[in-house]
Amino acid sequence: MSFLQKLKNKFKQDNQEEVSAKYKEGMEKTRKSFSGRINDLIARYRKVDEDFFEELEEVLISADVGVTTVMELIDELRFEVQRRNIKDTKEVREVISEKLVDIYYGDDNEVIETLHLLENGLSVILVVGVNGVGKTTTIGKLAHRLKGEGKTVMLAAGDTFRAGAIEQLEVWGERAGVEVIKQNEGSDPAAVIFDAIKAAKSRNVDVLLCDTAGRLQNKVNLMNELEKVKRVIEREIPGAPHEVLLVLDATTGQNALTQAKTFSKATNVSGIVLTKLDGTAKGGIVLAIRNELNIPVKFVGLGEKSEDLQTFDANAFVYGLFADMIEDAAELEQ
**Residues making up the binding site for GTP:** 129-136, 211-215, 275-278
Q: How far apart are CA 326 and CA 8, in angstroms?
A: 8
On whether the CB atoms of residues 51 and 45 are closer than 8 A, the answer is: yes
Q: Which residues of 31-66 are buried (b: 16+ CB within 10 A; e: fewer)?
A: bebbbebbeebbeebeebeeebbebbbebbbbbbbb
- Bin 65: left if φ > 0, else alpha if -120 < ψ < 50, else beta: alpha
Q: Is 285 helix (H, G, I), strand (E, B) or coil?
A: helix
Give the CB-side neighbour count of residue 177, counting CA atoms within 13 A: 8
Distance CA 152, CA 154 (A): 7
In 10 A of CB 239, how many CB atoms?
11
Beta bridge mates, 273: 247, 299
First-to-final CA distance of the chain: 14
Binding positions: 129-136, 211-215, 275-278
Going from the C-alpha of 13 to that of each of 16, 196, 227, the distances in angstroms are: 8, 43, 45
Rounded Cα gap, residues 297 and 311, in angstroms: 9
